[in-house]
Amino acid sequence: MRLRLCTWNVNSVRLRAEQAARFVAEQAPDVLCLQEIKCREGEFPTAAFVEMGLPYLKIAGQKGWHGVAIASRLPIADAPPLEVCREGHARCVGAVVAGVEIHNFYIPAGGDLPDRELNPKFDHKLDFYEKLTAELSRRDPKAPLALVGDLNVAPGEFDVWNHRYMSKVVSHTPVEIEAFVALKASLGFIDLQRETVPEPEKLASWWSYRAADFRQSNRGLRLDHILVTPGLKDAAFRLGAAASRIHDDVRAWERPSDHAPVSADLIL
């Protein structure tokens, strides 16, 4: 069977429920992982997701901020928790779908100053990465596990519009890249986007609202990721090559999120 896994920082699920329905109708995801839903569990537009064919839900909500959710076409079961946010924010939710353990994250952005001592938000971001890496290091890399979401790091030289400039800006600083690399190494995660579109082709999944035309300014960052363990390598490459896509057309819709959805197909 094909399992189409999608991740999207929707930047308010209630504001963009209609866009979610359009995306689901066009792309037919089996599992849609959302970040920044910006609502509590009881405020989530459940009926809309049932209508769009994703009736199985796992939601970790928070009033006005953060919040993550997993919406699935297939039945879901509980996954072992990965609660690594020291601030107690709603930034992670997990589920098991079709035998695949999926963890959906909205990792802290880290503020503006890349200094752990002077900027508590940046320290929180790195602490989040460190705790998550330590937790995952205890898992079995042969188990089928996917780590997805807005991880708020653009890890490669070609995941930013200007590597030299962005190396001093939060999201692409050397210490953040080091944290991302350590996370990937914890279970030997495979980056499905980069397996599909190798460097040096540039990729981005986020573009600032400040630009009137995001395509013309083209100052994007690849902050949204789908990483899978070696236990899913055969599923990811069953057809000979990884099939992952950034749906940048969605960023051009009316009143869009500043992030585009990212998808990957697994053949189980």
pLDDT exceeds cutoff 90 at 113: yes
CB 231 within 8 A of CB 141: yes
pLDDT confidence of residue 234: 97
Cα→Cα distances 198→159, 164, 242, 244, Å: 11, 20, 11, 11
CATH classification (class only), 2-267: alpha beta
Q: Where are the domains of the chain?
A: 2-267
Q: What's the pTM? A: 0.97
Percent of the chain with pLDDT over 70: 100
CA 137, CA 132: separation in Å to the nearest integer? 9
Largest pairwise CA distance in the chain: 50
Handedness of CA 264, 57, 134, 65 (dihedral sign): positive
Percent of the chain with pLDDT over 90: 96
pLDDT exceeds cutoff 90 at 181: yes
Tell me the per-residue pLDDT of 251-260, one tens digit each, with 9 for 90 and over.
999 999 999 9
pLDDT confidence of residue 160: 98
CB 152 within 8 A of CB 125: yes
pLDDT confidence of residue 211: 83
Residue range 18-22: mean pLDDT, rounded: 98
Tell me the per-residue pLDDT of 72-86, one tens digit each, with 9 for 90 and over.
999 999 999 998 999
pLDDT confidence of residue 212: 80
